[in-house]
């Protein structure tokens, strides 16, 4: 199946033609929608990309396909890391399949003994990936490590807010949202959101809508626990930086504040 196969993204699993689903599961085309990423057979994909894996690993991967998508990604990545090590990471992160590059994210997340700065350096190319799905897997994969030492995390990610890449800047805020999506909450930021200001403040007038939405969603998360703080912060931002970008962020941040 050619990577240039003409196609559109499908939003319902039942609508995905069998040849498209087969190509996704062979890793010859990337997914175009979340639905396609969820529908492909990861055990089949694993065997296609790593045909020399042990039977026990392939059997465990096949069993993991019964799990929810996040646990599926985590489990298959852990199996792959155990058998292939860092060489497996290198192969995955350059593969054409976004799911395979997603495995690289979780393999980096599963590595032991890495300093946070090192882990962030490894995940950054995947945080800057061209595919929307890989960028989401990137922050999900390392979020537990970010949460475990928020002081170092804030220091490191505040530097990412100066990146020329909107994807990297967006990672800085999205990866540590107080509530987030498909992840555990960060209790410290729910109670003390001001600790994240070294990341949020530099992005308050970011020209990228992609980044603006992330910052607004961060503050919307925080407003569920600290609505007064978020309202006062937005008021101050609008005084300090009365730009269209800041106004958009604040409007979206306060959308549920009464």
Q: What is the pLDDT of residues 162-195, one digit of tens each?
A: 999 999 999 999 999 999 888 999 999 999 999 9
Range of weakest confidence among 9-13, 47-51, 253-257: 9-13
Per-residue confidence at 197, pLDDT binned at 50, 70, 90? very high
Say what the pTM is.
0.93
Determine the Cα–Cα distance for residues 206 and 202; give it in Å rounded to an integer: 8
Please answer whether residues 195 and 154 qualify as being in contact, where contact means their C-beta atoms are separated by less than 8 angstroms: yes
Rounded to 10°, the helix 116-127/166-174 angle is 130
Q: What is the pLDDT of residues 48-57, one digit of tens each?
A: 999 999 999 9
End-to-end CA distance of the chain: 53
Average pLDDT, the chain: 95
Determine the Cα–Cα distance for residues 101 and 137; give it in Å rounded to an integer: 9
* CATH 1.25.40.290, the chain: domain bounds: 149-170+189-258
Class of domain 149-170+189-258: mainly alpha
Determine the Cα–Cα distance for residues 71 and 24; give it in Å rounded to an integer: 20
Q: What is the pLDDT of residues 114-141, one digit of tens each?
A: 999 999 999 999 999 999 999 999 999 9
pLDDT at 158: 98
Q: What is the pLDDT of residues 95-115, one digit of tens each?
A: 999 999 999 999 999 999 999
**Mean pLDDT, to the nearest integer, of 134-156?**
97
Q: How far is CA 210 from CA 12, 58, 83, 116, 239, in A?
A: 25, 38, 37, 25, 23
pLDDT at 7: 60
């Amino acid at each position: 199946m050619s990577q240039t196969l003409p196609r559109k993204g499908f939003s319902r699993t039942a609508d995905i033609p069998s040849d498209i689903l087969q190509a996704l599961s062979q890793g010859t085309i990337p997914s175009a929608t979340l639905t396609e990423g969820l529908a492909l057979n990861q055990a089949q994909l694993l065997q296609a990309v790593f045909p020399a894996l042990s039977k026990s690993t392939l059997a465990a991967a096949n069993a993991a396909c019964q799990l929810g998508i996040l646990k599926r990604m985590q489990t298959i990545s852990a199996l792959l890391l155990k058998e292939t090590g860092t060489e497996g990471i290198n192969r995955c992160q350059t593969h054409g399949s976004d799911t395979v590059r997603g495995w690289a994210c979780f393999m980096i997340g599963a590595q032991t003994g890495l300093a946070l700065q090192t882990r962030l350096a490894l995940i950054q190319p995947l945080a800057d990936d061209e595919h929307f799905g890989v960028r989401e897997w990137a922050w999900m994969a390392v979020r537990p490590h970010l949460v475990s030492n928020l002081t170092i995390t804030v220091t490191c990610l505040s530097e990412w807010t100066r990146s020329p890449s909107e994807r990297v800047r967006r990672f800085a805020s999205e990866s540590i949202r107080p509530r987030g999506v498909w992840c555990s909450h960060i209790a410290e930021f729910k109670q003390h959101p001001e600790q994240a200001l070294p990341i949020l403040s530099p992005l308050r007038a970011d020209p990228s809508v992609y980044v603006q939405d992330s910052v607004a969603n961060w503050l919307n998360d925080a407003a569920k626990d600290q609505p007064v703080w978020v309202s006062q912060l937005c008021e101050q931002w609008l005084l300090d930086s009365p730009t269209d970008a800041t106004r958009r962020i604040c409007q979206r941040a306060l959308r549920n504040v009464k």
